[in-house]
Chain A
C-alpha cells in the first residue's frame, strides 16, 4: 500500500526566510498531491495541490514541486510570516477498490519567529 513519509517533523525559521517541507511516496500510480495547513485548534485547509502532469505549481508565496521519478514532492513557502505558523500535511493517493483514498503524512509543525 501507499506509504507517505514527511520531513521534517518540526521546522523553525525566522520571519522572511524560506521554509521547505518534503514528502516521499511509494505508489508510482499516485497522480494527485495536496497540501493542507492546520492552525492550532482549527480545521485542516487545502492550500495548494499538484497533479502528476506538471512539475511545479505556484500560488503567491507558496509553491509545490513534484519529482515523479524520485517519487517526492515538496512545499516551498517564501518570505515566511508569523501567520504561516501551523502544522502542514502532505497527502498522496492509495488506489484500491473502486476509488482511491488519500494517505496523509504525519505533519510538519512550522514555527515562524518574528
Chain B
C-alpha cells in the first residue's frame, strides 16, 4: 500500500541541525497527523491538521514545527533537537479528523539524534 508516503525513511542529525520530515497522502483524505513512536511507550499524538488547519497540538515542544500547505502534504520541521527525540515518527491520514475515522499510517521516519 503506498497511500501514505514518508521521506526520508531514516535520518541521523546532530542537535544543532535543521531538517524536515515529509509526508504525502494519495487517499483523498482531509486530515493528517504526526505521531511519535518510542520504544516501550505508546504511540503519542503530536499534531492534527484538518483541511490544512491545525486542530491539535498535544503540548509538543517548539523545536518541532509542523506545516500543512494542503490536505495532501504534511511536514515536520526539526531544529535543535535533543537525544530523547530519537524515535520513529509516523504520519497518518483519515477522511476527516473525526475520532471514528480509520487512520492510515505511513512507514515512518526513523530519527536518530547524535
Contacts and interface: CB of A to CB of B under 8 A. Distances in A.
Interface of B is mostly: loop
B2 to A, nearest CB: 11
Q: What does DSSP make chain A's interface, helix, strand, loop or mixed? A: strand
A90 B42 CA distance: 10
B105 A44 contact: yes
Interface size, A (range): 20 to 34
B90 interface: yes
B102 A101 contact: no
Given A43-B105, A43-B106, A44-B90, A101 B41 contact: no
B55 A98 contact: yes
Nearest to B9: A41
Interface of A: 4, 31-32, 34, 36, 42-46, 49, 51, 89, 91, 93, 95, 97-107
